[in-house]
Amino acid sequence: MDFENKKVLVTGASRGIGRAITSAFLANGAAVWGLSSKEPADLPQRLSAAEGKLSWLTVDLSELRAIEGVIEQAVKSADGFDVLVNNAGITKDGLAFRMKLEDFQRVIDVNLTAAFLISRIIARDMARRRSGAIINMTSVVGVHGNGGQVNYSASKAGLIGLTKSLAQEVASRGVRVNAVAPGLIASDMTDTMPEEAKSKMLDHIPLRRIGTPEDVAHAVLFLAESPYITGQVLQIDGGMFM
Ligand SMILES: NC(=O)c1ccc[n+]([C@@H]2O[C@H](COP(=O)([O-])OP(=O)(O)OC[C@H]3O[C@@H](n4cnc5c(N)ncnc54)[C@H](O)[C@@H]3O)[C@@H](O)[C@H]2O)c1
């Protein structure tokens, strides 16, 4: 894949799936702006390894009112992005009957509302330039649901609606909007799951392994450069849901 001279913004780039997406774009020639709530400890090493092709934005996406100013500034300083990957996400699991309103709201804010705020600023600029690709990180639970995750699955289902609606709004201006829906992927987010739960899930994965962040990154780059795909949700789940 060739992303030479392309500019990419990746949210949640400090670790896990976002980190793998950032590395894959850099390895394929892109300049990348990573965004996370905290600077990763190894940022100096990552910046020097990227030889000027990696920039960093430290923004807490739960602070919704701060987002637009920072993203507008980033669009200006980058002189426009070719690709946006809305990857940042959190979980705050619990059964619906016991879930605190703030735990529902925070997950919606970070996973969905922040993606909406970032997308509309960048999509507007892409539309002006008549080109661009946005990829939203949803989840198989946004399609199929999952007990104990009403907040998370609602945020991920919301991202699917956002993806399809925005895709319809901007397609005529040359901007594509797609989503990827990972299944079980090894990362900090899934590290805390009990081994028993993971091995039960593994029984339902025909490819017989847990996915890697690189598996997801591969699909993100594919969608970023596929000129005739828009409004789609691509499941990356080893065949868990067919
Ligand atoms: N790991 C999985 O099995 C899996 C499955 C389906 C979907 N996903 C989705 O993939 C994405 C990445 O997940 P991961 O497994 O790499 O998780 P992770 O916890 O390892 O990484 C999350 C990233 O989001 C960033 N982030 C979290 N809260 C933020 C905030 N308030 N402001 C700014 N940045 C914030 C973190 O800094 C980090 O870079 C998430 O959207 C997640 O919902 C993951």
pLDDT tens-digit series, residues 62-79:
999 999 999 999 999 999
Question: What average pLDDT does this structure show over 88-105?
Answer: 98
Whether the model clears a pTM of 0.95, i.e. scores above it, the answer is yes
Is position 2 within any domain? Answer: no
For atom 39 of ligand 1, which residue has the closest CA? Answer: 12
**Interval between CA 88 and ligand 1 midpoint (Å):** 5
Catalytically active residues, by annotation: 152
Q: pLDDT tens digits for 14-36?
A: 999 999 999 999 999 999 999 99
Assign residue 142 the CATH number of its domain. 3.40.50.720
Ligand 1 site, residue 184, Cβ cutoff 6 A? yes
In angstroms, what is the span from residue 87 Cα to ligand 1's centroid?
6
- Number of structural domains in the chain: 1
Does residue 153 fall inside a structural domain?
yes
Residue 241 lies in a domain: no
Query: 25-28 contacts: CB < 8 A, separation 24 or more?
Result: 25/83, 25/221, 26/50, 26/53, 26/54, 28/1, 28/2, 28/3, 28/4, 28/221
For 34, the domain range is: 7-236
